[in-house]
Copies of this chain bind each other. A is one copy, B any other.
Amino acid sequence: MKARVTVTLKSGVLDPQGQAIVGSLTSLGFEGINGVRQGKVFDVNLAETDPDKAKALLNDMCEKLLANTVIENYAVELLD
């Protein structure tokens, strides 16, 4: 089973990388960039075929490794 995990910073958490990207885009001549926040995406390929078990497994992976739950949110999406 294929799944996508998206990990993003919680609102209110400072994102220096996102700010640096705004600066770079502006220096490249882009206008009207009100903000950029960068996150991570993980495309995971699991042997598990049961959707509920796969979701539980992925949530557990996020809690233990893929996300820093103090400052990050995560969303799990099963792709097939």
Contacts and interface: CB of A to CB of B under 8 A. Distances in A.
Interface residues of A, number: 32
A18 B38 CA distance: 18
A42 B21 contact: yes
Question: What's the number of copies of this chain in the assembled complex?
Answer: 2
Interface in A27-80: 28, 30-48, 57, 60-61, 64-66
A26 to B, nearest CB: 11
Interface string A1-13: 0000010100000
Interface of A: 6, 8, 18, 21, 24-25, 28, 30-48, 57, 60-61, 64-66
Contact of A39 (B18, B37, B41, B65): B41
